[in-house]
Chains A and B, each alone.
Chain A
Amino acid sequence: MTEPLLSATGLSKRFPNGVAAVDDVSLSLRRGEILGLVGESGSGKSTTAKMVLRLLRPDAGQVVFAGHDLTRATGAQLRRLRARLQLVPQSPQTSLNPRLTVGEAIAFNLRAHGWRRSAIQARVADMLDRVGVPPADAGRYPHEMSGGQVQRVALARALATDPELIVCDEAVSALDKSIQAQVLNLLAELQRETGVAILFISHDLAVVEHIADRVAVMYLGRVVEEGDTHQIWTAPNDPYTRELLSSIPPIR
């Protein structure tokens, strides 16, 4: 059995008011795997994501990414690791800096890792093309684009440094369904091409069922059930998972 790409063990985080946002959460992801993290508001899924990305320091527990202890990494080592671990945020309104063009937004991530100016331009055009945005749009500002386009650019930005893992935090939740379908198809296609592993965080069970190989269900700061997506959908063990699944309105 090979070592997992990401293994988070015993992550805990209390808010300043003493409430446990995340309580002893452990997750692991293999290379090229899509792990869905589902839960309702207040379940701690976004806090968990922030700790995995080291945007938030856990009170306890550690995150090991590609054999390195991310919780303890500092300086240049941390920055190098970050190139391999990227975020696709939620809101089309704020996932891109309103004052930068979409080309500059992608270039920023490349520049942070020492890419040369000449190489950056070609890479930006290539990334935009791969996410289905005309490279000629590199000079446009986020507010001139649709929500779906913005999220495609956010995906291009995350993939620009060839990461091994991207964290999608409700990355398609704010989109209209027909646009969401386009972006989900794109995400699946890019995942196949690049072999990137994805931690896919969503409150939308149907979307997670569609995209994830494995699922972890969070409730009140804990992982209550984890397993193969198909198995959880057909035979959920935990009572909360059962309630969650039964609340999905029937599609067909």
Chain B
Amino acid sequence: MSELLEIENLTVDFVAGQRVAHAVRGVTLRLGAGRTTVVLGESGSGKSVTARAVMGLLGGGARVGGAVRLGGESLLDLNERAMRSRRGRDIGLVPQDPGGSLDPLRKVGAQVAEVLRAHGVLTSRAARRERVMELLTLAGIRTPERVAKSYPHELSGGMRQRVVIAAAIACGPRLLIADEPTTALDMTVQAQILELFGSLQRELDMAILLVTHDVGVARLMASSVVVMYAGRVVEEGPGDRVLDRPAHPYTAALLGAQPHPGVPRGELVGLPGLPPSATTVTEGRCALVPRCAHAVAECSTTSPVLEPVTDGGSVACPVPWTADERRVG
């Protein structure tokens, strides 16, 4: 049986003249209807580019390979017009910066209504108005009448993000893509928005692909986690397993780098050095090699492939390692 979203060996290169940036270097990922997958990674890991490739929002200059299927339909083969009709209707997007996706000169209620109109969901103006109120309420806004009449700058960051979420779920998408949806928000607001994602998913039965750099957000949200590094998936599996018993040294490093009570000051365990740039060639070896304390000779000569892990998911690291407690300087 096929899953709702299937990404098969996705590659994305950005080409400019002689130079090629390999943003995504072969990502395979499956997301079942009504489930949540968190894509966890740092800057340059290719997590956001993967999300944008699913949305068909990469723009010119991007060379895309592999396959992306939503409910069996191949999205990469659609033309821009067809893709536009999928966006907003089948796939909703919640970006990092809620300010950037709202028109500063229009009242937010009208902007949510516009999504309904553009996809022909509701033809009568009155019906759309009523539906906008329902959507804003669904997005956790207690005073939808007042908020609908506001301009974006009159709302707080958290409130704007709720409006964006209302617009994203307006047409009842099967898939919601959230790219760092809480990174620009305050901690207390983040907690509310994450909670909102959970309740919306239960009510609307939609799948969520959530992109984040934050281990805490991943732990809170994930039924499953995909960890990306240098454009590839290095580990994936059930959220509990991946975050409690990481099988890849990089996942372990992400967890060790996160300060939490009990770690003595200055004793964070992470990785030395920097991730490779998108122009670095990493074929035929593990991209983590120069930073990894567990690397053996084989790591520099063979590309690791995802192999099943006994207690769930899979990992692209053949070395039997155990977490070390060395700090990085």
Contact = CB atoms under 8 A, between A and B. Distances in A.
A185 B220 contact: no
Interface stretch (A44-52, A59-67, A240-248): A240-248
Interface residue tally on A, bucketed by range: 35 or more
Contacts of B274: 146, 148, 179
Given A249-B214, A249-B217, A182 B272 contact: yes
B289 interface: no
Interface residue tally on B, bucketed by range: 35 or more
A181 B219 contact: no
A210 B268 contact: yes
A233 interface: yes
A4 interface: no
B260 interface: yes
Nearest to A246: B191
A146 B190 CA distance: 28
A246 B258 CA distance: 17
Contacts of B265: 188, 210-211
A185 B271 CA distance: 12
5 contacts: A177-B257, A206-B216, A210-B263, A211-B265, A249-B220
A188 B216 CA distance: 23
Given A206-B258, A247-B190, A189 B266 contact: yes
Nearest to A38: B187
A37 to B, nearest CB: 15
B7 to A, nearest CB: 24
A41 B157 contact: yes
A178 B42 contact: yes
Interface of A: 40-41, 132, 146, 148, 176-182, 184-189, 192, 203-207, 209-211, 233, 243-244, 246-252
Interface of B: 42-43, 157, 186-191, 194, 213-217, 219-220, 253-261, 263, 265-272, 274, 327-329
B157 A178 contact: no
A48 B329 CA distance: 30
A250 B220 contact: yes
Nearest to B188: A247
Given A181-B258, A206-B216, 14 more contacts: A40-B186, A40-B188, A177-B215, A181-B259, A181-B328, A185-B268, A188-B265, A207-B259, A210-B260, A233-B261, A246-B191, A249-B215, A250-B216, A251-B219
Contact of A250 (B213, B219, B254): B219
B191 A247 contact: yes
A248 B187 contact: yes
A181 B268 contact: yes
B327 A206 contact: no
